[in-house]
Amino acid sequence: MVRGFVSRPDLEATYWGELKSQWVDPKTGEPPKPIAVAVVITQRYSRLALTLFTEDSQSSTIAATLDQGADGRFAVLGIYRNEPRLSAQPRSRIHYGGLRLDLAGSGTTLKGSYWTDRGSCGELELARLSSECAHDFGEAERMTGETSQ
């Protein structure tokens, strides 16, 4: 797609990994366990979009870009809207946030952080799973060969 025309990496794919929230549950004093996530990146010459899926919600970028730093390394920067499933909304309301994911290793790993307008933040670590773009969490999970318990 874009790789043949410019020196930007082709990130279009489904990625699988973990989201580690730094939010602390006031009842237990502990952060939640890491959450399995799938991130689907679609990329064209002038457009980059990310969709993050968990079992309980979907986040879609409102704006995203692939930024090349002065050192030549790339990062994905974005602003997103998260929409929890209706059954999850009593404990997790719709919210907005930002993210930065650095392209790491051989270009198959994305690592970075996110923050939200509800005061939470955390880290994401993702590995390229497939060049196919999953349509939801279940489809991405099937691509891994794993299943939820």
Q: CB 92: neighbour CB atoms within 10 A? A: 16
Look at residue 147 in the predicted model and tell me its pLDDT: 59
Model confidence band, residue 106 (pLDDT cutoffs 50, 70, 90): confident
Distance CA 53, CA 26 (A): 26
What is the residue-averaged pLDDT of the chain?
91
Nearest C-alpha neighbor of 59 from the set 32, 34, 36, 40: 40
Distance CA 43, CA 107 (A): 15
Total domains in the fold of the chain:
1
Domain with 60, as residue range(s), is: 13-136
CA angle 140-144-141, nearest 5°? 35
Check which CATH number belongs to the domain holding 37 and give it. Answer: 2.40.128.380
Query: What percent of the chain clears pLDDT 70, i.e. is strictly above it?
Result: 93
Residue 145 lies in a domain: no
Q: What spatial distance separates the first Cα and last Cα of the chain, rounded to whole Å?
A: 37
Instruction: Express each pLDDT in 2-58 by its tens digit.
Output: 444 557 899 999 999 999 999 998 999 999 999 999 999 999 988 999 999 999 999
pTM for the full model?
0.89
Residue 63 lies in a domain: yes
Look at residue 105 in the predicted model and tell me its pLDDT: 75
Token look-up 């930065």 returns 100
